[in-house]
Structure 1
């Protein structure tokens, strides 16, 4: 694909969907490449990722270098300035995406609040792969319509959130040892379990197991065990008349007081409040907790 960019315009100006404005692949060696976020009239967001060379970003008064395999998120208008310096001596080559829509700003706000404006991403990271795919689709004129474009943009945003939240990329297979550990926890959650026992069920050392588990699932083994216990407890609270103390014991908690604290932290209600809250239009028999 040639180094170029693609613009998108929509006839429905009241379009409530998130929309891509431009995507592209560019390079600069000129200091005239300088964008001040407070000097631009329109309202949109920008993501820009360095392929080679480096650029610079000043965000809320703080300077960031944006070298190879790093990108940045900014909102227009906003208190930032991104630019190229000729003393870099090498071209700043980058790919970029700009987007608009009321929902887009909430996502950019969350990303910047959680991560800061600059992010490190490997060249094969899902957000970068998806951006290349969108450019290829634009080049081949296979983007169907504003709905297809909005879905692609949302998929890209979700991929960014996953990385920033420390979650594994979508579609990555779970290693057999991690799957074995999860199955073991799902069958033994009712009793006291040590990390050593869980690692043994996975067939690996505790140290290696913990690193692999977090890398594969985005959470620690103990958090996963607690989640399994709370999911089972929520089912028992809604589907049985067992006391809270009995349910705590049946799901592997030492005492009902600790169970109550953990349940409230993960579910937002006490066990009794959760049991009594039957106002759901479509009550769920099984809950998934993330």
Structure 2
């Protein structure tokens, strides 16, 4: 297995390394043995992130959703821009790094399985051309979010099977997301997303989002779901729950105070929404201590080589 990078995780980033005993179970189980994760995560504004491997024993998928970086293999080299995916096969020595000027934000996964090698052909990638451009990648955000949220659960086999199924779904969805699809006129998703983050302390309505986009309520909702795969309000609430996780991890504010900071007048509604999104309550999330779970995972994996 590949040696992990030493890049430190800032708030908002995550890294999950599955214990060796668990990945061995996945490699034998009929539901997962054809393709299963070894490690996965999300690095945000990853300044200083760089890796070089002369030996590589598993498959590595890196998707850049903001900023940029570069990669080099035995057969290819180039940049990785926002909206592009890099798939590195097992056995391919490589190096990659985030740009110093515009450091990338990336989703990544190390994986293995009897069908892992077939992913290159399925995505029509080669050693000479390992990069895929995804014009409609935002449609996968709900699935990616579900995968990352599994890190809040302790490493039980059932959760690992779910992680394997979500990774498989992400990969099989990729070809249909490569076709060119222009954003609707007057629909600027990056600007709208920035508007959501800037106003995460407010309880915004669908009408306010539609007004910002310059569209009617009906047409805005239709075009937003067509372009992202989810509803505007669910997208906004996912952002607020993500920010809530950061506050629960980094502050000692009460759950009531955090809910008020994120525009929720009713802390009970906030707790129900948080549990619906994350699968656990805000209080349990805080008490479970994600950092402790990851520390325990690293301890279980210390006798073996692990991941990015």
TM-score, length-normalised on structure 2? 0.44
Work out which structure has the larger RCO, using CA pairs closer than 8 Å and 6 or more positions apart in sequence. 2
TM-score, length-normalised on structure 1? 0.47
Between structure 1 and structure 2, the one with the greater Rg is 1
